[in-house]
Amino acid sequence: MIIVMQNTATKEMVDHIVKMVKEHGLKTEVMHGESRVAIGVLGDRTKLEEGNVIRLPGVKEVLKVSKAYKKVSREYKVDDTVVEVAGSVKFGGDNPAVIIAGPCTVETQEQVIEIAHGVKKLGAQMLRGGAFKPRSSPYSFQGHGLDGLKMLKKAGQEVGLPVISEIMSTDYLGDFMEHVDMLQIGARNMQNFDLLKAVSKVKKPVLLKRGMSATVEEFLLAAEYILAGGNDQVVLCERGIRTFEQSTRNILDLNSLALVKEISHLPIIADPSHAAGRYDIVPALGLAGLAVGADGLIIEVHNKPSEALCDGKQSLTFETLEKFMKQAKAFI
Amino acid sequence: MIIVMQNTATKEMVDHIVKMVKEHGLKTEVMHGESRVAIGVLGDRTKLEEGNVIRLPGVKEVLKVSKAYKKVSREYKVDDTVVEVAGSVKFGGDNPAVIIAGPCTVETQEQVIEIAHGVKKLGAQMLRGGAFKPRSSPYSFQGHGLDGLKMLKKAGQEVGLPVISEIMSTDYLGDFMEHVDMLQIGARNMQNFDLLKAVSKVKKPVLLKRGMSATVEEFLLAAEYILAGGNDQVVLCERGIRTFEQSTRNILDLNSLALVKEISHLPIIADPSHAAGRYDIVPALGLAGLAVGADGLIIEVHNKPSEALCDGKQSLTFETLEKFMKQAKAFI
Amino acid sequence: MIIVMQNTATKEMVDHIVKMVKEHGLKTEVMHGESRVAIGVLGDRTKLEEGNVIRLPGVKEVLKVSKAYKKVSREYKVDDTVVEVAGSVKFGGDNPAVIIAGPCTVETQEQVIEIAHGVKKLGAQMLRGGAFKPRSSPYSFQGHGLDGLKMLKKAGQEVGLPVISEIMSTDYLGDFMEHVDMLQIGARNMQNFDLLKAVSKVKKPVLLKRGMSATVEEFLLAAEYILAGGNDQVVLCERGIRTFEQSTRNILDLNSLALVKEISHLPIIADPSHAAGRYDIVPALGLAGLAVGADGLIIEVHNKPSEALCDGKQSLTFETLEKFMKQAKAFI
Amino acid sequence: MIIVMQNTATKEMVDHIVKMVKEHGLKTEVMHGESRVAIGVLGDRTKLEEGNVIRLPGVKEVLKVSKAYKKVSREYKVDDTVVEVAGSVKFGGDNPAVIIAGPCTVETQEQVIEIAHGVKKLGAQMLRGGAFKPRSSPYSFQGHGLDGLKMLKKAGQEVGLPVISEIMSTDYLGDFMEHVDMLQIGARNMQNFDLLKAVSKVKKPVLLKRGMSATVEEFLLAAEYILAGGNDQVVLCERGIRTFEQSTRNILDLNSLALVKEISHLPIIADPSHAAGRYDIVPALGLAGLAVGADGLIIEVHNKPSEALCDGKQSLTFETLEKFMKQAKAFI
């Protein structure tokens, strides 16, 4: 249940309601939006009579939250959440779309620094790079691990870009807290609930990718785990879903991106690289993502795609990124 | 097999090859592109020795067409096909995106005329309207049939817009030839091969919608039926695919739209209305379609969506269409 | 709305209700089940006050049919429908499962006669064979058409098996009525509504295959078209659905088969050949279909699979069919 | 690469080849099957010339393993693997199908003991029960954790059944090693690679469930992680896949179960409860799984389904389990 207060409601009115709700054995959370104050009520709502609440001074309306997710919904918080990374990059609200770029995998210190310079010059605001890689086969390259994280951090510092990398296990949370500016939870771990709970307890923004066959509701509930645990600095990421169609790696689901922007206040970006799986249609999908209102893009870029240890097929070169950034300007 | 000629090849060289191929019991089709002449060879290609062909005067290269589709592919025809409707509307090539708008169903003469005026005023170039409706339930309204076609035609004439309507059966082909400017084959009939063969024999452009779970290859092969029969005036339409995600009616598959633009020379448009199934995200998906390079959009518009006999939930009002057309200008 | 009468209700009571319903401008259909009489009410049910109906003499209960389908549902008709083909073969109810076998395509008179002898000897009760073939590519063999139908009929007569073949267009309905004992509507035509309406008007049993991405509701509604038109001799067929998994051609959906048996009174069989797309797992899927309660199976069998013009990869030999029939005996 | 030895090959011949392969910088693994000895070669196979290997004494043939998975494949090991739990229960090979039964969640000590008695009496060979529950919503009951594990163990000991429970995080591996006889990895964690690696290092059999949209190849590769790490006691579990069809919770994919039995030597069981999501079709799907050759079933059973804390809708009562076990006898 969400109790929405009138514009004219005083602090006393709000306090009175909070006290009353707590007396019924329920928790509250007061949300101060630009346009209104709302009081979220958590717990068994049958304990509270809606008809009684609506008659209290200052109450405008009482919303029943029918969906399983609460804190991620616009019913709970009307205004866009803005997620800030490293004090400089801002996702969501009226901020221009953020471009995150970098290699699939951190291969060498030289490679990641060269790519960092390249993408920064072309307008990227954050640097991505995998250190711990989720690979379908145990025989595929699994990433440089902690060394990779350190190389990524150094590259970011050298060019002045905040960095993001994927965390696969709670075992390394300390290292990630030290070396990256934003934690990425990958598609395969979207419902790794222990990991979600762990990142909900830290003070670091999280990029949460949608699972490849997760419904919108499951996606938002995964984010709800993070918000429920205390971390509201979450950026969502649509990265393509698995369907019957296999001529491209996945299908970028812009229906859901558009829908999420309506039902949630969290920023959401698109990952055209993993959605496409082939470089030639990455720019087109990136533009489509921006057109539909994405708050940013995360794009794989490599200095020598044909020699990449991973995902070379879907990585852009500096040349194609440059061309893309020019086209994208209309939207950013 | 496709025999690509050198820029400097003479007509005699081409004629010589055509004659030789026919002597081997194979059919040919000579394609005059802007940049080159190519000779398509149809039939059992094992009858012809590639090594012999490549040595003939004027031959630049010999392409083996590995995919099941031939005439719809860029290997067969490099340059974009431009499909012209009623001498005025042009799909494909460098032409600006075409907006087709109108009601799901023709309800009354007044209704369709009012909508025709509204959409024409806002910049639509063609009028859509269903007369024969494919409905999942036998108890749903099945459309006004031939009377609906006539009302649509009259509305188109009154405001000066070419019209398009869906044909579901060969029984009515004569009526459609008389009353509409473009034939639409719906998603459920994409593999109604008798219908495809029938429209391949007429002189009228065809809008072919992708089946809701058709692969890109099946989609292109359905178009191949129409081209193989002799009608090369085909516009493709991506209208959303069926997936596990059901928070919106379908998922607009822009991956495939981008891919089709690469592998086929045929124009392709997007249908954000059926992809969305709810009006609120139609404009966003329409912009995304244009951003990815669609040659047009087909959009459901109704003067009174809440009273529509069909699909009111996904129809735009004049007001939202107006707003959308302003945003879309950047892409058209 | 369905009005269920008490066991003790007299004919006068039923007649009285029918008369009353018609006076409200609604249609009725009286169903005499083994265990009860029920009166189906078709039309805008808001015209009839449920509270008034329940008080009429002889009425046991009033069911609101919430689903879009009516006549195919068990709410409408409790007892299993038994569909009889050629006076000898019976699908549904307590009858043992019917095995339909034969080649994908009728190739020559000799081929189909040889196969007919083979499958009859091994226990098949009906002979299948394609004459008009729905092929994704216009360049694939499209079947022998009417000649194929005649060869099939002759083979059936020679060995004494009723025959079934797929009809793709209303144009050939007369020929099918003359030459086959059961009409098959294929997966691609499950929503070819003109075809459904046409077969609803004839006196010939219909095998309706589920579309490859049709929901259970759409499947039942397609059958509803046939029953609504007047033909209640419909056997349903689950033939595999299209999913993300592509290591086999389709996935046999036994969940839906089990569910359909609960919610519909119509017989339903399984097609393990098209579900599998490879012969090696056809027997296992056939057994699974029988275990789940299918009223029959339709299986592709060829005398020389490696030389088949179509679907040789998924056809059983006589040897594997023989082995399968022995295993299947436990279920039939 | 797999080097298959002749039946007559001596130990010396095998040793010679192993030595030679190692000298090329590659690892070997000698597999003693009933019918043959095979030498698996792991590493960059370009280092070894196939033509040279085939000429060595005792070599029958050299197989190139084209798939990404190796150790799980029948190419690597021809004979069925038998997985033994607690010295009494055997999965795979010619052993009769194993029935694992129990509640979705361990609720109280009394509940799980009562259910344990019930299922043991009806023929179940193992007891299941969730202690750590993966729930889509953070507000759903998350299980009793370690206490739940202890209750489960006690119930198993009391009635004499080995127990299995789902492990979601490496943090609790020690507890699971102490309290359960078999580790279960759930669908959501099928690609939690850190968890896979952790269980690959312990001496305890693992039940690995297929992810809800995992391909057969990804499923086998997940198992490959466990075998590659050193634990070859893996039982696979097909539990239904996510498709467009939503009238039941998932679709039991028996195509893949049949296929896996061909391409892998590992035992595979079916989970009709999660595939169905509704109790009424669980028995039918269970029989279908057995008919297709499953090496066992895992079934949710509850003493009072309507009061279950989780998944009551899909749980069988003792009565339905009893009826099912009688029907299942034909297959077990």
Question: What value of ipTM does the predicted structure carry?
Answer: 0.84
- C-alpha torsion D324→D325→D329→D332, nearest 10: 110
Over its length of 332 residues, how does chain A's per-residue pLDDT go in tens digits? 778 888 888 999 999 999 988 888 888 878 777 667 888 887 766 677 777 787 788 888 787 765 677 899 998 899 999 999 999 999 999 999 999 999 999 999 999 999 999 999 999 999 999 999 999 988 888 899 999 999 999 999 999 999 999 999 999 999 999 999 999 999 999 999 999 999 999 999 999 999 999 999 999 999 999 999 999 999 999 999 999 999 999 999 999 999 999 999 999 999 999 999 999 999 999 999 999 999 999 999 999 988 787 877 899 999 999 999 999 998 77
Residue B66 has pLDDT above 60, yes or no: no
Q: Which of A244, A245, A246, A247 should one mutate to test binding to chain C, selecting the residue with the greatest count of C CBs within 10 A? A: A244
Tokens, residue C316: 């059983």
pLDDT at C97: 97
∠ CA(B312), CA(B314), CA(B319), 5° rounding?
85
Q: Under an 8 A CB cutoff, do B194 and C138 touch?
A: no
**Beta-carbon pairs below 8 A across chains A and C:** 10
Angstroms from C214 CA to nearest CA on chain A? 14
- C-alpha torsion B102→B107→B109→B115, nearest 10: -30
Report the distance separating Cα B137 and Cα C67, nearest Å: 10
Tokens, residue C297: 């199976």
Read off the DSSP letter of residue C281. Answer: G
Report the distance separating Cα B225 and Cα A269, nearest Å: 40
Crossing angle for the helix pair C254-263 and C216-229, to the nearest 10 degrees: 40
What are the chain A neighbours of C247 within 8 Å (beta carbons)?
none
Q: Give the residue from A146, C276, A6, A208 showing the smallest Cα distance to D262.
A: C276
Instruction: Report the Cα–Cα distance between both ends of chain C, in Å, rounded.
Output: 37
Q: Under an 8 A CB cutoff, do C254 and D288 touch?
A: yes
State which residue of chain A sits closest to C241, comparing Cα positions. A244
* SS3 assignment, position D244: coil
Cβ of C31: how many Cβ atoms within 10 Å? 17
Q: Under an 8 A CB cutoff, do B191 and C188 touch?
A: yes
Q: Give the residue from D234, D267, D228 showing the smallest Cα distance to D71.
A: D228
Report the distance separating Cα B288 and Cα C277, nearest Å: 37
Parallel/antiparallel/unpaired status of strands B126-128 and D163-166: unpaired
Tokens, residue A234: 């979450």
* SS3 assignment, position A283: helix
Q: Under an 8 A CB cutoff, do B247 and A216 touch?
A: yes
Q: Under an 8 A CB cutoff, do A243 and C246 touch?
A: no
Q: Under an 8 A CB cutoff, do B246 and D242 touch?
A: no
Tokens, residue D314: 């899909």
What are the chain C neighbours of D250 within 8 Å (beta carbons)?
255
Q: For the segment B75-116, what is each residue's pLDDT rounded down to a tens digit?
A: 889 999 999 999 999 999 999 999 999 999 999 999 999 999
Q: Under an 8 A CB cutoff, do B241 and A246 touch?
A: no
Query: What strands, in cross-sheet order, belong to the sheet with B2-5?
Result: B27-32, B37-42, B2-5, B59-63
Strand-pair partners of C185: C208
| List of domains in chain D | 2-63 (3.30.70.1140), 83-328 (3.20.20.70)
Task: Please name the helix (run of DSSP H) or strand (run of DSSP E) that holds residue D71, with its range, or none.
Answer: none
- For C272, how many CA atoms within 13 A lie in the half-sphere containing its CB? 30
pLDDT at C153: 98
Strand-pair partners of C236: C208, C268
Q: Which of B193, B213, B231, B234 should one mutate to test binding to chain C, selecting the residue with the greatest count of C CBs within 10 A? A: B193
- C-alpha torsion A186→A130→A121→A328, nearest 10: -30
Q: For the segment C122-176, what is each residue's pLDDT rounded down to a tens digit?
A: 999 999 999 999 999 888 888 999 999 999 999 999 999 999 999 999 999 999 9
**Burial readout A59-77 (b: 16 or more C-beta within 10 A, e: otherwise):** beebeebeebbbbbbebbb
- CB-based contact A235:A207 (threshold 8 Å): yes
∠ CA(A60), CA(A65), CA(A69), 5° rounding?
135
Parallel/antiparallel/unpaired status of strands C98-102 and C126-128: parallel
- Helix/strand/coil (H, E, C) string of B265-313? CCCEEECHHHHHCCHHHHHHHHHHHHHHCCCEEEEEECCCHHHCCCCHH
Q: Which of D245, D257, D264 should one mutate to test binding to chain C, selecting the residue with the greatest count of C CBs within 10 A? A: D245
Report the distance separating Cα C36 and Cα B310, nearest Å: 38
Q: Under an 8 A CB cutoff, do A247 and B216 touch?
A: yes
From the list D213, D242, D244, which residue is nearest B242 (CB)?
D244
Q: Which of C212, C242, C244 should one mutate to test binding to chain A, selecting the residue with the greatest count of A CBs within 10 A? A: C244
D-side interface with B, Cβ within 8 Å?
A: 213, 242-244, 246
Q: For the segment B220-255, what is each residue's pLDDT rounded down to a tens digit?
A: 999 999 999 999 999 999 999 999 999 999 999 999
**Beta-carbon pairs below 8 A across chains A and B:** 118
Residue B290 has pLDDT above 80, yes or no: yes
Q: Under an 8 A CB cutoff, do D213 and B246 touch?
A: no
- CB-based contact D127:D301 (threshold 8 Å): no
- The total number of residues written for chain B in this structure: 332
- For C45, how many CA atoms within 13 A lie in the half-sphere containing its CB? 18
Report the distance separating Cα C149 and Cα C130, nearest Å: 8
A-side interface with C, Cβ within 8 Å?
A: 213, 242-244, 246
What are the chain C neighbours of B239 within 8 Å (beta carbons)?
none
What are the chain C neighbours of A246 within 8 Å (beta carbons)?
244, 246
Q: Report the neighbours of A using a cutoff of 3 or more CB pairs below 8 angstroms.
A: B, C, D
Q: Under an 8 A CB cutoff, do D170 and A168 touch?
A: no
Q: Under an 8 A CB cutoff, do D213 and B244 touch?
A: yes
Parallel/antiparallel/unpaired status of strands A2-5 and A37-42: antiparallel
Residue linked to tokens 């023989």:
C322
Q: Under an 8 A CB cutoff, do A285 and B254 touch?
A: yes
Residue B44 has pLDDT above 70, yes or no: no
From the list D69, D134, D194, which residue is nearest A191 (CB)?
D134
**Burial readout C46-57 (b: 16 or more C-beta within 10 A, e: otherwise):** eebeeeebeeee
- For B122, how many CA atoms within 13 A lie in the half-sphere containing its CB? 26
- CB-based contact C183:C137 (threshold 8 Å): no
Range list of H helices, chain A: 11-23, 50-53, 109-121, 146-159, 173-179, 193-199, 216-229, 254-263, 272-276, 282-291, 318-328
What are the chain A neighbours of B287 within 8 Å (beta carbons)?
291-292
pLDDT at A39: 85
Report the distance separating Cα B21 and Cα B5, nearest Å: 14
Q: Which of B137, B220, B239 should one mutate to test binding to chain C, selecting the residue with the greatest count of C CBs within 10 A? A: B137
Q: For the segment D1-19, what is each residue's pLDDT rounded down to a tens digit?
A: 778 888 888 999 999 999 9
Q: Under an 8 A CB cutoff, do C192 and B188 touch?
A: yes
Q: Under an 8 A CB cutoff, do C254 and D285 touch?
A: yes
Angstroms from A85 CA to nearest CA on chain B? 27
Report the distance separating Cα D274 and Cα D207, nearest Å: 15
Report the distance separating Cα A265 and Cα C107, nearest Å: 63
Q: Give the residue from B240, B206, B267, B319 showing the smallest Cα distance to B72.
A: B267
State which residue of chain C sits closest to A250, comparing Cα positions. C244
From the list A217, A245, A262, which residue is nearest B280 (CB)?
A262
pLDDT band at C307 (very low <50, low <70, confident <90, very high): confident
What are the chain C neighbours of D275 within 8 Å (beta carbons)?
255
Instruction: Report the Cα–Cα distance between both ends of chain A, in Å, rounded.
Output: 37
Q: Under an 8 A CB cutoff, do C221 and B192 touch?
A: no
Parallel/antiparallel/unpaired status of strands C296-300 and C2-5: unpaired
Q: Give the residue from B291, B293, B277, B281 showing the smallest Cα distance to B236.
A: B293
CA distances from B208 to A119, B8, B87, B184 (A): 41, 37, 20, 6
* SS3 assignment, position C147: helix
Task: Please name the helix (run of DSSP H) or strand (run of DSSP E) that holds residue D326, with its range, or none.
Answer: helix D318-328
Report the distance separating Cα C225 and Cα C193, nearest Å: 8
**Beta-carbon pairs below 8 A across chains A and D:** 67
Q: For the segment C219-241, what is each residue's pLDDT rounded down to a tens digit?
A: 999 999 999 999 999 999 999 99
State which residue of chain D sits closest to B241, comparing Cα positions. D244
With residues binned 3-state (H G I as helix, E B as strand, rest as coil), the percentages for chain C, rounded to 5, are 40, 20, 40
Q: Give the residue from B200, B203, B240, B244 showing the smallest Cα distance to B222.
A: B200
pLDDT at C109: 97
What are the chain B neighbours of A284 within 8 Å (beta carbons)?
254, 258, 291-293
Q: What percent of chain D has pLDDT over 90?
A: 74
State which residue of chain B sits closest to C212, comparing Cα positions. B213
Q: Under an 8 A CB cutoff, do C247 and D259 touch?
A: yes
Q: Under an 8 A CB cutoff, do D213 and C247 touch?
A: no
pLDDT at B133: 94
**E strands present in B103-204:** 126-128, 163-166, 182-185
Q: Under an 8 A CB cutoff, do D215 and C262 touch?
A: no
State which residue of chain C sits closest to B138, comparing Cα positions. C225
Q: Under an 8 A CB cutoff, do C189 and B194 touch?
A: no
Cβ of D11: how many Cβ atoms within 10 Å? 10
What are the chain D neighbours of C245 within 8 Å (beta carbons)?
215-216, 241, 253, 255-256
Q: Which of C210, C213, C217, C245 should one mutate to test binding to chain D, selecting the residue with the greatest count of D CBs within 10 A? A: C245
Q: Which of D243, D244, D247, D253 should one mutate to test binding to chain B, selecting the residue with the greatest count of B CBs within 10 A? A: D244
Please tell me which of B33-47, B118-132, D69-83 the model is most confident about, judged by mean pLDDT.
B118-132
∠ CA(B38), CA(B43), CA(B49), 5° rounding?
70
Q: Report the neighbours of B using a cutoff of 3 or more CB pairs below 8 angstroms.
A: A, C, D
Crossing angle for the helix pair A216-229 and A254-263, to the nearest 10 degrees: 40
Q: Report the neighbours of D using a cutoff of 3 or more CB pairs below 8 angstroms.
A: A, B, C
